[in-house]
Amino acid sequence: MHAKTTESPVRLAAETWESLFRAQVAVMRRLQAAPAFKALALNEYDVLFTLSRCPSGWLRLNELNDNVLLSQSSLSRLVERLEKRGFVERTPAPEDGRGILIRLTDAGRELQKQIGREHVRDIAALVGPALSAAEQQELLRLTEKLRAAVAAR
């Protein structure tokens, strides 16, 4: 019997996670080196990107926090910096006096688009040659399934 099929479920899960994590590190290291991220840290871009994908245009701070690997306080200050630089606006949430709503300004939307175009090209240049289209679709499916399962708990 093949080794992979006899190893314990716990070990398989650990190896799978480690492989996913190392792949993320390897790709991210390349992406971060792009000239576009001289102007804006990757976490900052990520916030602009998430806002750009939001149908209503407005997001709560804690909704943003689900997408980014940052503590609540760090995200709070990151958004504060983006506001000072004129890339996002903040407004008290109408239905909840504790909350704030955030959206892109025109300048923020423009910057996101500009960096986004280059970023997408960089991603394609790294991922495209590495995996076939079918493999990419399968990787997309598996990671989305994993994310959904983890978020649901």
User: For binding to a copy of itself (CB under 8 A), which residues are involved?
Assistant: 4, 9-17, 19-30, 67-69, 120-121, 123-124, 126-131, 133, 135-140, 142-147, 149-151, 153
Q: How far is the CB of 8 from DNA (least distance, A)?
A: 31
Cβ of 97: how many Cβ atoms within 10 Å? 7
60, exposed or middle or buried, with CB in 10 Å at 0-12, 13-18, 19+?
middle
Q: How far is the CB of 66 from a copy of itself (least distance, A)?
A: 8
- Which one-letter DSSP state was computed for residue 60? E
Q: Which of 22, 30, 53, 90 binds DNA (CB under 7 A)?
A: 90
From 9-17, 20-28, 55-63, 132-140, give the range in contact with DNA by CB under 7 A. Answer: 55-63
Q: Could you tell me where the DSSP H helices lie in 1-153? A: 3-6, 9-32, 42-52, 61-67, 72-84, 106-127, 133-151
Kindly list the residues in this chain that would bind DNA in the complex (CB under 7 A).
Answer: 41, 43, 60-62, 65, 69-81, 90, 93, 96-100
